[in-house]
Amino acid sequence: MVLTVVVCPTLMLLSAGLRHIYLHSMSLSGLTIGNLAKIAILSTGCALLVTALLTAIRAISGWNIPGWGLLEEVIVPLIHYAFVFTGWSILFFWVRAEAAKRAEHQRATAAEADALRAEILQLRVQIDPHFLFNALNGVTEELAEGTGAALGMMQDVTAYLRHSLAGIHNPIVTVAEEMASISAYLAIQQGRFGDRLTSFVVVDPYLGERPIAHFLLLPLIENAIIHGDRRLVLSIGIHVSMQHGALRIEVVNTGHLQVRGDGISGAGVGLGNVRRRLEVHYPERHHFSLHQAQGRVVAVLLLEGDPCSGH
């Protein structure tokens, strides 16, 4: 019992000393050959100190164990404590390596989140001036024609900007808020085109509070207005519903899907922005299709789960 009371604090003091040496005098890059050699030397030295202490206590007190010789009194304890300190040292390096790996992962995650927030902001900045320019351009045309619709359009622009500013620090809004910003934008275009444009928005009642990425749909609406068939009446319809647990958004307009010379349809800044924002907010949890159906262009979004905010 006395020997145990002496040895346990000694082991703790020596392990604390090893920790100090490892932290301040050795590289913690891992269990390299050099580190393993140093661990073996230091662990053997600590084992010698413990063995010498035990031998000295037995010699001073006269506590000789019958039948024990040099092997039992010196060699076996020396090997035992050398393994103890070596195992403790290897465990120390392993724990430090795991902690460093976890800290590096946290730093990488934080950096990725910062980059994601910056990209979301960049995508928002890319959209907002684009829409604002087109809206103000429509107001300017009405002022030049003197039809009296400019005042109503400016009120709609104000409503649109209010929704835009409300979500500038929050990339996630509710479906109801997103539809309100779309309605404001459609009202601006209605004032611009008059009877040549008709639109309707249908949202299933229980989906109003569901979260969605802000300004995700507006590029689709603008594409429908720019590229839709306005020779007679351009009709735009938006329907928000649920499909197998996913949010389903369908944007339909009269017209024909434009295909570039390389056979790729749906290219451009607006749709490129939509695709990138889907990757950012709904990674591997979305589906986006654009196709022609019976004289109409149909864009369909399927969004699974809640959007990532980047925070």
Decide the pairing of beta strands 211-213 and 234-243.
unpaired
To which H or E segment does residue 238 belong? strand 234-243
The tokens for 134 are 């087109």
Whether the predicted pLDDT of 260 surpasses 60: no
Average pLDDT over residues 262-278: 65
Please report, for the domain that includes residue 285, its CATH number.
3.30.565.10
Whether the predicted pLDDT of 310 surpasses 60: no
Give pLDDT, residue 263.
41
* pLDDT tens digits along 41-73: 999 999 999 989 888 888 888 777 777 777 888
Q: Are residues 102 and 154 in the same domain?
A: no
Structural domain contains residue 234: yes
Q: Are residues 166 and 95 in the same domain?
A: no
Structural domain contains residue 66: yes
Q: Are residues 103 and 192 in the same domain?
A: no
**288 conformational bin, left if phi > 0, alpha if psi -120 to 50, beta if neither:** beta
Partners of 236 in the β-ladder: 199, 253
Terminal-to-terminal C-alpha distance of the chain: 57
**How many other CB atoms are there within 10 angstroms of residue 285's CB atom?**
15
Q: Are residues 87 and 177 in the same domain?
A: no
Structural domain contains residue 128: no
Q: Are residues 87 and 161 in the same domain?
A: no
* pLDDT tens digits along 104-133: 888 777 766 666 666 666 655 555 566 667
Percentage of residues in the chain with pLDDT exceeding 70?
80
Residues 6+ apart with CB under 8 A from 305: 282, 285
Q: Are residues 154 and 42 in the same domain?
A: no
Domain region containing 239: 147-303
Structural domain contains residue 217: yes
How far is Cα 301 from Cα 308, in angstroms, rounded to an integer?
A: 16
Contact 56, 63 (CB under 8 A): no
Q: SS3 of 287, please?
A: strand
Q: Are residues 279 and 200 in the same domain?
A: yes
Q: Are residues 50 and 100 in the same domain?
A: yes
Comparing 2-16, 72-86, 150-164, 296-310, the range with the smallest average pLDDT is 150-164
| Structural domains of the chain, count | 2
Between 111 and 310, name the one with better pLDDT.
Answer: 111
Q: Are residues 198 and 298 in the same domain?
A: yes
Structural domain contains residue 27: yes
Residue type at 199 in one-letter notation: S
Give pLDDT, residue 128.
57
Whether the predicted pLDDT of 238 surpasses 90: yes
How far is Cα 299 from Cα 12, in angstroms, rounded to an integer?
A: 69
Between 115 and 81, name the one with better pLDDT.
Answer: 81
Whether the predicted pLDDT of 152 surpasses 80: no
164-194 burial code (b ≥16 CB/10 A, e <16): beebeeebbbebebbbbbbbbbbbbbbbbee
* pLDDT tens digits along 5-44: 888 899 999 999 998 888 887 766 667 788 888 889 999 9
Structural domain contains residue 92: yes
Q: SS3 of 32, please?
A: coil
Q: Are residues 93 and 25 in the same domain?
A: yes
Whether the predicted pLDDT of 247 surpasses 90: yes
Percentage of residues in the chain with pLDDT exceeding 90?
21
Structural domain contains residue 141: no
Most confident of 83-87, 131-135, 186-190: 83-87
Partners of 265 in the β-ladder: 259
Last residue of a domain, one of 84, 107, 130: 107
Task: Read off the pTM.
Answer: 0.57
Q: Are residues 33 and 161 in the same domain?
A: no
Structural domain contains residue 100: yes
Contact 212, 247 (CB under 8 A): yes
Q: Are residues 71 and 181 in the same domain?
A: no
